[in-house]
Amino acid sequence: MILDQQQMNPANKVRVAVNGYGVIGKRVADAVARQDDMELVGVADISDDWRPRMAMQKGFRLYGATEDHAGAMRNAGLDVAGNLDDPLAASDLVVDCTPKKIAVVNVAIYRQRGIKFIVQGGEKHEVTGHSFVAEASYASALNRDSTRVVSCNTTSIVRTLTALKRTGLLHRARGTLMRRATDPWESHLGGIMNTLVPEPEIPSHQGPDAQSVDPDLDIITMAVKVPETLAHLHYWSVQLTRPASKDEVLDAFSASSRITLIRMDAGLTALDMVKELMAEVGRSMTRGTMLPVLTACVWDAASLLFLPGRECSGLRSVEAIRAVLRLACKLIMCPPWLTLRSPDLIFHAGIL
């Protein structure tokens, strides 16, 4: 069932439920709650630990994923309003932020109810038939019932390569991704030390995933896990369609609202320094974490090398908000709070 804008609630606010209140879900919920044209109906989860307690402190209506989960959460002292059926019945759209491979089970429920839905990058493209990065697939999300917000790495790839593609400079790209060993909030559970772990297949999954957003990308990726948890780092070799000057390439990146240039010779020489900068400038929507991409650029007339590095959590809440707007038939590109948006960050090697 396709809903148009007139079928939304009378206050003309998009009513949004968030299913899953973990690392991504809590950021999506915070972002939805900040929107003037959205209403956060509630958040659903299975946990009775500190995370749903924080949702209660923020005034979010809390639900159990099932009636059994709701009962267990009540027994743990949580104020639970019901189970997942309740916010779904009161919402126009649900953002599913449950762990990998869980959402594919939930999708059958959403479709049965005729509610629009967004899943995360851990699910296959085929679950929705559409993969979302606002820079590249915003227009094609219009009038859809569902979409998939791709992973942080894939979003970074599509954003930066799209900046080159739009100016006619991109021919093909070959990249190596240095992936952090584990998410920082799970460091106590495990991770690698004193080793590197390459992914066994070439291409790694990020290249084909980027092509699910933009099939025209000529891209191959490789990936290796590294023993740190600050951020991911990408190495890219790009063949341009024609000779281009340094200024032309920088202008291509600068034209994107999702890319900001900074300088290595200003002391921003490593991931930890950039992350500290992000805390200093008050990245509240990413909870003090760094912007998604940093890049050092070197090129000759017909090729480009750049090194993006990224932290995940804030970016995916930004993309989720943009996906909500599009599925809800809102014809604007960025909601007001995206003046503090999370752009890709080009970390330029002192040659501006």
Tokens 């995940």 label which residue?
312
Handedness of CA 47, 26, 140, 204 (dihedral sign): negative
- pLDDT given for residue 169 in this prediction: 94
Query: How many Å apart are CA 248 and CA 232, to the nearest integer?
Result: 27
Same-domain status, 33 and 131: yes
Same-domain status, 163 and 67: no
- pLDDT given for residue 133 in this prediction: 93
pLDDT digits (tens, 9 = 90+) for 43-85: 999 999 999 999 999 999 999 999 999 999 999 999 999 999 9
* Residue 322: Cβ-neighbour burial (10 angstroms; 0-12, 13-18, 19+): buried
Per-residue pLDDT for 106 more than 90? yes
More confident residue, 219 or 184: 219
Per-residue pLDDT for 23 more than 80? yes
Per-residue pLDDT for 230 more than 50? yes
- pLDDT given for residue 266 in this prediction: 82
In the structure, what pLDDT confidence band is assigned to residue 340 with cuts at 50, 70 and 90? very low
Give the chain's largest Cα–Cα span: 67
CB 297, CB 305: distance < 8 Å? yes
Tell me, rounded to whole angstroms, the distance of Cα 335 from its chain centroid.
16
State the catalytic residues.
Answer: 152
CATH of the domain at 133: 3.40.50.720
Per-residue pLDDT for 92 more than 90? yes
Same-domain status, 225 and 175: yes
Q: Name 62's bridge partners.
A: 43
Query: Mean pLDDT lowest for which of 142-146, 212-216, 305-309?
Result: 305-309
Same-domain status, 79 and 194: no
In our burial notation (b when 16+ CB lie closer than 10 A, e otherwise), range 147-171 reads bbbbbbbbbbbbbbbbbbbebebbe
Handedness of CA 149, 155, 158, 159 (dihedral sign): positive
Pairing state between β 303-306 and 232-240: antiparallel
Same-domain status, 88 and 111: yes
Same-domain status, 86 and 202: no
Same-domain status, 75 and 161: no
Query: Mean pLDDT lowest for which of 55-59, 261-265, 294-298?
Result: 294-298
CATH of the domain at 263: 3.30.360.10
- pLDDT given for residue 267 in this prediction: 83
Tokens for 220? Answer: 């191959």
Same-domain status, 213 and 234: yes
Q: Name 246's bridge partners.
A: none
Task: Count how many domains the chain has.
Answer: 2
Its domain, for residue 284, covers 153-312+341-348
Same-domain status, 238 and 259: yes
Mean pLDDT of the chain: 83
- pLDDT given for residue 1 in this prediction: 36
pLDDT digits (tens, 9 = 90+) for 159-191: 999 999 999 999 999 999 999 888 887 888 888
Per-residue pLDDT for 228 more than 60? yes
Same-domain status, 168 and 306: yes
Tell me, rounded to whole angstroms, the distance of Cα 50 from its chain centroid.
24
Query: How many Å apart are CA 111 and CA 77, to the nearest integer?
Result: 33
Q: Residue 261: name the closest of 310, 294, 283 by CA.
A: 294
Same-domain status, 133 and 212: no
What is the pLDDT averaged over residues 80-94? Answer: 97
Same-domain status, 176 and 261: yes
